[in-house]
Amino acid sequence: MKILVTVKRVPDPESVLKVNAEGTGFAKDNIKWVVNPFDEIAVEEGLRIKEKVAGSEVVLVSIGDKAAQEQLRTGLAMGADRAVLVVSDTDLDPLAIAKVLKKVVDTEKPELVLMGKQAIDDDANCAGQMLAELLGWPQATFASEVKFGADGKSAQVTREIDGGLETLEVPLPAVVTADLRLNEPRYASLPGIMKARKKELKEMPLAELGVDTAARVKTTKLETPPKRQAGRKVESVQELVRVLHDEAKVI
Amino acid sequence: MGNVLLIAEHQHGKFPKTTLVGVTAAKELAGKTGGKCIGLVLGQGVDALGSDLAEYGIDVVVVDAPALANYVADAYTVATAEVAKQKGVEAIVGTATAFGKDLLPRVAARLDAGIAPDITDVIDAKTFRRPLWAGNLIATVTIESPMRVVSVRGTAFDAATKGGAKGAVEKLSPAISGTTKFVSFNETKSDRPVLTEASIVCSGGRGLKNGENFTTYLEPLCDALGAAMGASRAAVDAGFVPNDLQIGQTGKVVAPTLYIAVGISGAIQHLAGMKDSKVIVAINKDEEAPIFQVADYGLVGDLFKAVPELTEEIKKLKHA
């Protein structure tokens, strides 16, 4: 099975992001960058499928500036076979991302696209669903389990949704987006890191793809919300109940 | 002068509060586009729901079809896009629930529309505010495409109430296609209030140590308060409680009148899902835990002692 997995370069989740001088984005200097945690889960799932289904190939794709090589190398070190980087110096909105990914899918012709359910920087949770629609493929988002039919032509996906767990059956090819409980990603081994240096990482300038990436959505302002103030400590459960009842009047 | 189409999510023959919040946001947006707000009910055997939605003073389109009996993204996208085209719609509004998050981006892609997910404010017909980076940044975004799609954060607007002239209900039968097959839904059963609708939420974290302790310690507290139960990601990841209880950046967003965090350290990802609560109480043995930085009232102590004591005190108060 040929599997395409998306990898986004995002700030480390523990980073404190500061608004840039123009007030339209966040300052990108002095930040530690990582693979979007949900994409890491998607990569892991791709590798687990590859380990089960003989003859599988896991191809990574990222869209971003050249620095995203680092995150693709991380995925290659985990065990992916090769990587494609669509080089773009500007941030694209989710629909533009989906259009670029569609172009890559048209070339690579995978049977399965695995993506993180959302990127932890813009929290949009859109690109996977959009890609599925542009391809005319079914989608199974927020996956916590992926199984394949005996004939390898369909997937049964369990999804984490409001109120419980839902199971869908989708014919392949399909787009699946990973939720937190799908798996626990492996760490890259030292031999894995060594091997990754020699694996193919192909760069493609965005302009060469001929995709309409004009922004449908523009961020005109970015700001920090007002901080909630810490209140006070209470000494005992009795005091807590009293203040909640008499002062806050919430019980 | 385009119309605004509200996709009305329903469960068990009812509209959850999140949908009614969506109605408010859609009406507000229609006020800015100068068009009408039209509700859209998709499903099978949903005539009564269509009529119910019209009582919120909006016109309603019902698409009733066997292919829509269970929600699946591809078939629902086709139906929604067709209705949008037929009804002169320039903006589509849905809820930032699992349903809306799955459906709306797909609808946007079909209509080549820009999308603003999880909005908290409608500034004008094209401009919205939305949180990102786990709620630590707020973006103002403008959608520049002729068709616009937004999903609405369930805590950001008041729920609509019935009133005004009842709207007209119209049935449409667009062609529907899709290849996704619904197999099953394993529902988490609970007699407690729904997490996103409760006025009091008690949440447990890693500090509770295991699932049995949620039952032994946290559930009685929830029941004494009539509260919904929630959890941190750590507790869900560890398998203490079902995923459906997770509050935070990648789980549910709640803003109850009272939020009690028990044994939760308060990572920014968790705060993203509860920091708009009116009153926050934290119970944690670590006085340096970041949860205390957002808590109105903090109790430093052993939760295994404090929680049963709190449950008893609340019972006493209720019987007083």
- Tell me the pLDDT tens digit for each residue of B50-77: 999 999 999 999 999 999 999 999 999 9
Between the alpha carbon of residue B258 and those of residues A250, B116, B300, the distances in Å are 6, 29, 18
| pLDDT confidence bin for B171, thresholds 50/70/90 | very high
How high does pLDDT run on average in chain B? 97
Between the alpha carbon of residue A13 and those of residues A31, A34, A36, B116, B235, the distances in Å are 10, 8, 9, 22, 19
Report the percentage of chain B scoring pLDDT > 70: 100
Residues 6+ apart with CB under 8 A from A22: none
Q: Is A230 on the interface with B (CB under 8 A)?
A: yes
Q: Which amino acid appears at position A219 of this protein?
A: T
Q: Where are the beta strands (DSSP E) in B121-243?
A: 121-122, 127-132, 137-143, 148-152, 169-171, 181-187, 200-204, 228-231
Q: What is the pLDDT of residues B8-30, one digit of tens each?
A: 999 999 999 999 999 999 999 99
Mean pLDDT score, B273-294 = 97
- Phi and psi at B181, nearest 5°, equal -115, 125
Distance from CA of A219 to the nearest CA of B (A): 4
pLDDT at B309: 98
Distance from CA of B53 to the nearest CA of A (A): 21
- Nearest Cα neighbor of B219 from B187, B254, B191 is B191
* B contact test, residue of A40, A217, A228, A229 with most B CBs within 10 A: A217
- Which chain B positions have a beta carbon within 8 Å of A162's beta carbon? 11, 97-99, 196, 244, 252
CA angle B199, B155, B141 (to 5 degrees): 170
* Rounded CA separation B15/B318 (Å): 31
Helix, strand, coil % (nearest 5) of chain A? 30, 30, 35
* Rounded CA separation B31/B148 (Å): 15
- Verify whether the Cβ–Cβ distance A16 to B136 is below 8 Å: yes
Q: Where are the beta strands (DSSP E) in B49-136?
A: 59-64, 89-95, 114-119, 121-122, 127-132
Q: Is ipTM strictly over 0.90? A: yes
> Do residues B247 and B196 touch, judged by C-beta distance below 8 A?
no
Residues 6+ apart with CB under 8 A from B116: A217, B128, B130, B141, B143, B148, B149, B150, B151
* B contact test, residue of A237, A241, A249 with most B CBs within 10 A: A237
pLDDT at B274: 98
- Nearest Cα neighbor of B110 from B177, B39, B22 is B177
Token pair belonging to A112: 């399965």
* Rounded CA separation B160/B16 (Å): 11
pLDDT at B265: 97
A220 CB neighbour count, 10 Å cutoff: 12
Q: Is B256 on the interface with A (CB under 8 A)?
A: no
Q: Which of A16-25, A63-72, A173-182 has the lowest mean pLDDT?
A: A16-25
Read off the pTM. Answer: 0.96
Give the single-character DSSP code of A121.
T
Instruction: Answer yes or no: is pLDDT of A38 > 70.
Output: yes
Q: Which residues are bridge partners to B150 per DSSP?
A: B93, B116
Q: Is A27 on the interface with B (CB under 8 A)?
A: no
Q: Which helix (H) or strand (E) holds B319?
A: helix B303-319
Distance from CA of B48 to the nearest CA of A (A): 23
Q: Cα(first)–Cα(last) distance of chain A, in Å?
A: 57
